[in-house]
Every structure is written in structure tokens, then in C-alpha cells.
Structure 1
């Protein structure tokens, strides 16, 4: 019997940037991240906010120096297209759970005017109770792990904001409601679906979910794993956005080469600028992203800095 040839070892490399991935149905966010990380042969990578396996859509992945700014995307407002199935509530709040109650007869009496009125009640600041089927931790364990064991723990409501809640489609025959939502971080769309169903008096669960935006980034800018796999390495690298793309809405500050060196060493720099809580900082000749900071009392103060090695690697990668 012939010996099985060992799999070739993947030689990892320094890769820096942000990939806008369109996560497929059925994969966890970490599964998608690991697949992309292997394709890029990246030394370091992370994602910017978990999407459930049953959800698809925008999942920004950060590589190398960009991982230092993942929190910016985590904190950003999110956009979703959600499909609600009215008339049925489930144990999990989505289509995977067991049916708790079915009231199709009540749901068929619901018209579009009632749906609009119910949705309007959830626009603006609201309070949500995190569901048991969520990744929140209790004593070191995810709530969904406890829920699968039949354990329920006390949760505290959290304040979130629904900036936009638009009705896209109402399929009365199938009792399916499609909505577009723009919301603050930490909003549970499955909870929103259940709450809308409760307000209508017929119940509902989340039948489908697609993340369409994160901060200024839209899913139209994203690529699928299949598209990524079909490309060679150079073409894949060309898809990466610069690490500062996550900070694109922040004001920028440009420093001379001498001042840039001092800033990278962590020294505060005097600047003729008004106070600003968040800025992205660049050096000159060649222009290079140095990191993030803030301006207070006429001083530029570093928050997250790139290392000289990362900056040099990024300049080479950009050539």
C-alpha cells in the first residue's frame, strides 16, 4: 500500500488590507474567514462582526495591519434586508427552531396599512431583549449553547436605534414580509422580527437575513468565496482595500516626514487644528497611512499606530 503524500505546507506571508466578502449561507463567520485567510496565505486576519450561518451578505475581513482597526467596523451602523414569516413563532426566532405557535388565520387578516403602522413603532431609539439564541456570553459560555441545553438565563435589555425601517415587499399569499433596516450596532434583527409579529398580534419569525451595509461600505462592493477562488494571487491582492478604508469617514491629518517619525514613536504633536475625536494620520513622501489618533487641546495624540515594518510592507504591496 503506497504512502499518502503529505499535503504541501502553505507558506504564509504579510498581507495588509480589507476584503469585502459576501458570506454564503451555511458558513459561520469564522469558517468564511479561515477560507479567505488560506486563499491569501495571510499571516494574520480577523472579521468585523459575526454573521449567523443562516445569514448572508457583507462581512468585512481584515488582514495584517488592518486588524488594528476592526473595531471601527464593529461600531458602525449596519444595514440588513430581512424576510419575516408572519403567523409562526419558533423557539429560536428563525426558521431553524421548532414551531411554538402558528396563527396563519390571524396573519391573513393583516393588511399593509397595519404592517406599516406596526413597523413605524420600531423606528428610532428602542429597547431590545437579547435572545437566548445569540452569541452573548454568560459565565464564559455563549447563550445559544445554553439555549440548546434548555437553559434560560436572565438578560438585560439594551438600547439600540433603528434609523431606517422600510417595507420592500408584502407577499400576502405566503405571509412573507421583506424589510430594509438600517440600525445601530448590537441590534438583533430576529428580535425585531418577533417584536413586529407580536405588535401585529399574529407572531413572526425571521425567515431570511442578508447584511447589506456596514458603515459606508455596501454589499455591492463585496466578492464571494467562489469568485475569490477563481482568481490568481495577484488578482486577489488587487481586491484588498487599504486599511484606512475602514476610517474613510474620519478627517485626515498629514504630517511632514520628521513629524511623522515622532508621531510613530508615540509622541504628541502640536497642530493648528480644532479638537476632533477621531482622525486618520498620514506621512508625506511617500504618502503613507500611519494610524489613527485624536486632536485635543491643540495636540495630535496617537490611538492606534502602524509599525514601520507594516508601513514598509504596505508600500511594497501597493506597487
Structure 2
């Protein structure tokens, strides 16, 4: 089984628990998720099966969009609603002028210190292992980018004042930390009341299926939910090879083209064969050379063709297609 399942991760499950449930429902042997969502979080969790796991790093590195509610006036031990309240402060009036100021302040390039309750490693141990023992260790700030930030007043029965934010950001951004930092900038403290991932690497929550829906489906209906492996590289240019050069490419050999034959230099392209029509893997283009990257095995390609999975290029933007003469 090869493909991508866009799961709407439910509240209360870890990413791995959600993966294991979906893996069992699909009777899959090889599977992995593409970036952790906290149990508190819901939303887009791409799950990769079979050959798709070879390209999962692209989703780990992808930009993401989140919607969150910040509960003002309270700081917690975990910076979210799962932790204990450790500090309470009065909340100033939440005016549109204040929100505009916070939006400007927290948009662009930022230095962010990762939270103690995270899976980042320090001396071989996850930070949350130290945090659970009440220990705090020094963490280096990481450079992140907030591409777009929308803020608006919100209502939540748990607190007197709340803010809803929608954040488009680079990989490695901790929304819990962003919320806590915004609370400190306002002067009252804050923690995350809810979090939902709306988009990651071109996949949106409107495309997702829930675990409850999967459970109610037949085996064939579940398999039909899988997107093709090449959807993981859909935003990149396309290169198409004839049968002879496709075989050489799959052997790991570079393919030299005529001037501009593969298009401009590119860090990543998706590569297809023509006879049979099949997704072969990824490559990069440098000085008119097509250099193999992550490749599918002949067995994986045969499996995908036998399963009649879609093998045409999947692209959300105009693609540059070149054929070996």
C-alpha cells in the first residue's frame, strides 16, 4: 500500500496513536506521520504509507498554518490547557489598536526559545523528560518566520478574555510559545486553549478524513482515501523520461540534457516515466544535469501500477515538463 492519508487528527490522541489506529484500519505494514501534533491539537496530519515514507521529510520542512485560541490572564506549566495554572494576572482592555500592535510585533523573522514541554533533545533526552521532573535546561533560540498573523477578540468560558489567532509560519514554530510570548507582550500572560492545524505543505483540513469516518468505511473505501505518493511533491516542476532513460535514472545514473531541457536549475523536481506512465521519484537539476534524489524501487512502481493508483503528475501550479529526446 503506497500513498498519503490526510487525517483530521482528533482531540486527545498523540500523533503516533492516531497513526497506529489508521495503520491498523488500512492493514498497512509501513507507515509514518509527517510532524507531531500535540494531543491538545486537531487538524491536518498527513500519514505516509509505503513508498510515500521516502518523501515525508518534505512535509516536515513545509510551511504550516494554524488556528489557535489564547486564554489571557493565566500562565500554565505547559503553555497550554493541559498544564497547571502557575500565574494569574489582570488583563488590560483588548482593543483593536493593541491587537494591531501585537500583529506587527510578531510578524516576520523572530527568535523563539523552544518550550520545555517539547520533543527536542538535550544531551540525548527529550526536553519534556526534564520538564516532568521539574527541571529546566538551557535552550538556544531558533530563528522562525511568521509570514502572516491575524488576531481578533474571542470568547471562551474558561477565562474573562481570549484572542483567536491564525498563523502562517515556517517549520519549527511552536504556537504554544508564540501564544505565551504574545501574552507576555500584552502584560497579562497567556496559554493555548485550543489549536488546529489548517494547512501544511499544500494539504488543507478540508481534504481530511476523520478516524470515525474511516472506521465506518469498507476496506476499499479506506484505500480510496489515499492520495498518490506524488502528491507530496505536487508543487515542484515535472520532468518526464522515456523508457530507456527512466531505467537509467532508476539505477541512480545522472541524465545529461540539452541546454535548458530540464528547465532551470531546481532544488527538487518530480520525475515520471512514459512507458509505462509511472512516478519514479525526485531529483534536482544543476547545469542541465538531472540528478536522482529519492527513488522508488521497481517493486514499488509495479505495486502502484497494479493497484491502479493515479500516476499522472499532481501539481498545484504550472509545471515545466521535459522529455528526453
TM-score, with normalisation over the residues of structure 1? Answer: 0.92
Residue of structure 1 in register with 2:2 after alignment: 16
The alignment status of 1:34 with 2:24, answered yes or no, reads no
Counterpart-to-counterpart distance in 2, 1:63 and 1:48? 11
Partner of 2:300 in structure 1? 310
Q: Flag structure 1 segments of 5+ consecutive residues without an equivalent.
A: 1-14
Structure 2: gaps (5+ residues): 310-325
Correspondence 1:129-168 to 2 at 5 A: 129-168=113-152
Number of residue-to-residue matches in the alignment: 303
Measured in 2, the distance between the counterparts of 1:99 and 1:258 equals 65
Contact between 2:69 and 2:154, CA under 8 Å: does it hold in 1? no
- Using the TM superposition, give the Cα deviation of residue 68 of structure 1 relative to its aligned residue in structure 2, in angstroms: 0.1
Partner of 1:191: 177
Question: In the TM superposition, what is the alpha-carbon distance from 1:168 to its structure 2 partner?
Answer: 4.5
Distance 1:82 1:291 in 2: 36
8 Å Cα contact 2:270/2:282 also seen in 1? yes
Is the deviation greater in 133-142 or in 46-55? 133-142
Q: Deviations over 1:205-253 (max 9, x none)?
A: 1111001100111011000000011111111111100011010100010
Aligned to 1:245, the other structure's residue is in SS state helix
Contact 2:99 2:152 in 1 (8 A): no
1:284 and 2:274 matched: yes
* SS across alignment from 1:318: coil
Separation of aligned partners in 2, 1:176 and 1:83:
7
- State the alpha-carbon separation in 1 of the partners of residues 17 and 9 from structure 2: 10
Q: Residue 289 of structure 2 aligns with which residue?
A: 299
- Which of 208, 215, 218 pairs up with 1:222? 208
Q: Is the 8 A contact 1:17 1:240 kept in 2?
A: yes
The residue that corresponds to 1:101 in the other structure is 87
CA offsets 1:151-195 (integer angstroms, 9 cap, x no match):
111100000000111124433983111110000000000110011
Q: Calculate the TM-score normalised by the size of structure 2.
A: 0.91
Contact 1:112/1:170, CA 8 A, preserved across alignment: no
Quote the residue 1:50 is aligned against: 36
Root-mean-square deviation (Å):
1.3
- In the other structure, the counterpart of 1:116 is 100
The offset of 1:276, in angstroms, is 1.3
Structure 1 segments of 4 or more deviating over 6 A?
none
The equivalent of 1:262 in structure 2 is 248
8 Å CA contact 2:92, 2:188 repeated in 1: no
CA distance in 2, matches of 1:158, 1:286: 46
